[in-house]
Amino acid sequence: MKKHNFYAGPSIMSRYTLDHCVEAIHDFAGTGLSILEISHRSKEFTAVIEQAEALFKELLDIPEGYRVLFLGGGASLQFAMVPMNLLRTRAAYLDTGTWANKAIKEAKLFGDVNVVASSKADNYTYIPKGYTVPADADYFHITTNNTIYGTEIREDYDVPVRMVADMSSDIFSRPVDVSKYDLIYGGAQKNVSPAGVTFVIVKEDALGKVDRDLPTMLNYQTHVDKGSMFNTPPVFPIYAALQTLKWYKELGGVKVLQEMDELKARVLYDAIDNSRLFVGTVRPEDRSIMNVCFVMKPEYKELEADFLALASERGIMGIKGHRSVGGFRASLYNALPLESVNVLVEAMRDFEAKH
């Protein structure tokens, strides 16, 4: 049976990426060796990492003066590396959920953290607005897509300081004005590659401004200087990332991805909004186009397990909501076809007709 993969991360990859990965596992770039067993210093792999950086820059229209790094440690290590490298005295953070909170916790180890606003009291069902970012902050940190709660910031804010953003789960879902950011990072396992690599887009002249001593591996400058090859980088996930980026380019780039993503989200949100049983969990104006969170209305709550059972009968995978929200979460990452959303919507309608 065809499976429809709505997992939140690691998550669906395109057929294009998977096929090229399989090929390279057997014979990488005509070397007669597997991508898994070749030196990261080989000219074939050097070409891969250079192309991956170049395509990242091209697709996101990244201005001069920025580098794209491919590191280990996940987005979670960036929660610490960012303040370690960029926080001199004070940084501003926006608290929009679990991941933002984890970033705030790490930043507090390195300086004053001003949490300018939080939607925690309402279980993160909206993106706070109307706060001020202090002009003396070293940076303002945002989490553009809140993977767990299903809210998203789909614009590049105008604030008096430069921004840092965790874009783990919505990179390549819209054009980004990178020039407003000192740094953008993310675990690649949602919209880019399998788990194991973290992307970091960093403005070179944002570095070198802190006084503290930095461990070599935790200093962005190390990786800037060595083109992410100071030590052995995550070779295979970087190869996979390059395939995904090539596929994005073939499809027509980020604007095309944005249209596809917005259409998928609209189809599912419309089904939720027109349903007797289901209801969305977040404020409509802050809804994520990547992670759609919904529950059964209180009077039908006991039907949630039955709907999960029907979904799984139809090959719909990974829609159980995160435990902090409950209900359902459908992740509509770039590689998910519209067809899968239609199958989910049909399952919702059929379920509704029976109850």
Ligand X SMILES: *Cc1c(COP(=O)(O)O)cnc(C)c1O
275 closest CA partner among 218, 337, 344, 321: 344
Which window, 33-41, 142-150, 175-183, 319-327, contacts ligand X (CB under 6 A)? 142-150
Which of 138, 156, 166, 261 is flagged as catalytic?
A: 166
The residue from 7, 56, 99, 294 that contacts ligand X (CB under 6 A) is 99
* Strand blocks (E) in the chain: 4-5, 66-71, 90-95, 112-118, 140-143, 145-146, 151-152, 163-166, 181-187, 198-203, 278-280, 291-296, 316-317, 328-331
Enumerate residues 61-90 that contact ligand X by CB under 6 A.
74-76
Answer whether 200's CB lies under 8 Å from 224's CB.
no
**168 forms part of the interface with ligand X (CB under 6 A):** yes
Query: 194 or 348: whose CB is closer to ligand X?
Result: 194
Query: 60 or 303: whose CB is closer to ligand X?
Result: 60
Smallest gap from Cβ 168 to ligand X, in A, equals 4
Site track 296-325 with ligand X (rule: CB under 6 A), x = hit? ------------------------------
Applying CB under 6 A, what is the total number of residues that bind ligand X? 12
The residue from 4, 5, 9, 153 that contacts ligand X (CB under 6 A) is 9
Which window, 23-31, 39-47, 163-171, 252-260, contacts ligand X (CB under 6 A)? 163-171
Contacts of 127 (CB under 8 A, 6+ apart): 96, 119, 151, 152, 153, 286
Q: Is 215 left (phi over 0), alpha (psi -120 to 50) or beta?
A: beta
Which of 95, 99, 170, 182 is flagged as catalytic?
A: 99
Which of 190, 203, 264, 320 is flagged as catalytic?
A: 190
Smallest gap from Cβ 8 to ligand X, in A, equals 7
Quick one: tokens of 293? Answer: 């969170």
Q: Is 219 helix (H, G, I), strand (E, B) or coil?
A: coil
Is there a catalytic annotation at residue 190?
Answer: yes
The span from the CA of 227 to the CA of 196, in Å, is 17
Q: Is 113 helix (H, G, I), strand (E, B) or coil?
A: strand
Q: How far apart are the first and last CA of the chain?
A: 26
CA angle 78, 237, 87 (to 5 degrees): 10
Query: 52 or 75: whose CB is closer to ligand X?
Result: 75
Smallest gap from Cβ 291 to ligand X, in A, equals 8
Which window, 166-174, 203-211, 224-232, 330-338, contacts ligand X (CB under 6 A)? 166-174
**147 forms part of the interface with ligand X (CB under 6 A):** yes
Query: 15 or 105: whose CB is closer to ligand X?
Result: 105
Answer whether 329's CB lies under 8 Å from 321's CB.
yes
The residue from 106, 166, 261, 304 that contacts ligand X (CB under 6 A) is 166
With tokens 């007797």, the residue in question is: 276
**143 forms part of the interface with ligand X (CB under 6 A):** yes
Is there a catalytic annotation at residue 99?
Answer: yes
Q: What is the DSSP string of 294-341?
A: EEE-GGGGGGHHHHHHHHHHTTEES-BPPTTT-SEEEE--TTS-HHHH
Residues that bind ligand X (CB under 6 A): 9, 74-76, 99, 143, 145, 147, 166, 168-169, 187
Active site residue ranges:
99, 166, 190
